[in-house]
Amino acid sequence: MATLAQIRTVQTEAEALADLLVDLAAEGVSYTGWQFTAIQSALTRIAARNDAAMQAIRLSVVDGGFPNTALGAWLDATIRGFYNLPRTPAAKTIGTFRITDSSNVGPLATKIVGEVRVTYGDPAIIFTNREAFSVALSGYTDVSFVAEVAGTSGNIPNSSTLGFVTAIPGFTVTNPAVGATGTWITMAGSAAESDAAYLRRAIARWSSLGAGGNASAVAYRCTQADSALTLIGVDDANPNGPGSADVYLATASGTASGGQVTTADAYLQPRKAVGTGGLRCFAAPTYSNAITATLYSDGTRSSSEIEDDADAAMALLASEQAALGGYIYRAELTQRLMDIDGVVNLTLTTPAADVTLVSFARIIDGSHTWTVA
């Protein structure tokens, strides 16, 4: 029987061809002097090419059958089969825009759901109204909008420069922070669950099958309460008396909302093991990752292009946080920025040293100050 290592070995086309020629020689077939265009030469090369391709397919099938080695669609099929868990899909950003009669030309007659489209940035990110609304003379109305495309691109900053796709003369649209929330966003957009996060959630499911459970079980149940809760930290070192635990909650784009904390708490409380101590849920504390750097360009790209890529690189770094708490290393920030096309050197001013996050903190993409030289 072939070993797993043998099954997972994949030859190149050249290696497969060399083996075929050895086999032909063993059968008494001489290939010395074959013309490249001769039919026997062509058939041998085709056989080698197909053999190498089949070996690659075999490796995909073998790796796809195990959660720890499967990727992409193979991982979806494997986890659905083993754990009965679907991958969490990408989610669209939902938030509140303010429509204002800024020129005293109102009132604005009722707009039906989906009638008003708002644009931001270039390339444009489009939002559509989720509810009907009207605006009184000289007044304003706060309206719920949703990004047309799922993902994190809709998580734009407060007070962004917005416009109507189809102009509404005399009216403006803004996205100020709502109340004490500090943001216009009511549900952050998120990318589809990554392979690594999907696998972690699937493995954690086993620990939740009994009553009570350990920290992994608590974390898994939080994802069941609200699939947007993708980062969960559990302090099970008796923080509030014997047998107690504190749970810290965050999403792919930031800390948990008050509503998400309430939902998770309501889901967890009846699932505690009898006799255990108190369990409390909190929104994860946040750390705003502010960056100041001088980026030295090779001159092949414009300053704005480099700055846009730098913004995107730092936003991606924050979104890739795999566990609450930990560190932000200057070396990693430097590497991410050096990977930008056109950047040949840099001086990183802020942070001035590696950052040790407070326990269970969620990294938030902070302000960026770039100088392109």
Residue range 283-310: mean pLDDT, rounded: 93
pLDDT in tens, 125-184: 999 999 999 999 999 999 999 999 999 899 998 989 999 999 999 999 999 998 877 889
Residue 156: closest CA among 231, 227, 97, 210: 97
Longest Cα–Cα distance of the chain, Å, equals: 96
Ordered by start, the domain boundaries in the chain are 4-64, 94-187, 195-283, 286-372
Tell me how far the alpha carbon of residue 282 is from its chain's centroid. 22
User: pLDDT tens across 258-277, in order?
Assistant: 999 999 999 998 887 655 67
Q: Is the pTM of this model over 0.95?
A: no
Average per-residue pLDDT in the chain? 89
Q: What is the pLDDT of residue 274?
A: 52
How many CA atoms does the CB half-sphere of 171 hold within 13 Å?
Answer: 24
H/E element, 64 = helix 39-64
What pLDDT is stored for residue 207 in this prediction? 61
For residue 364, which phi and psi values (nearest 5 degrees)?
Answer: -115, 135
Weakest mean pLDDT among 69-78, 99-108, 195-204, 330-339: 195-204
How much is the pLDDT for 297?
A: 95
Say what the pLDDT of residue 94 is.
95
Read off the pLDDT of residues 54-96 as tens digits, 9 standing for 90 and up. Answer: 998 888 888 888 888 888 999 999 998 888 888 989 999 999 9
pLDDT given at position 299: 93
Neighbour tally for 249: CB within 10 Å: 29
Q: Is 55 helix (H, G, I), strand (E, B) or coil?
A: helix
Residues 94, 118: contact at Cβ < 8 Å? no
Q: Is the pLDDT of residue 211 over 60?
A: no
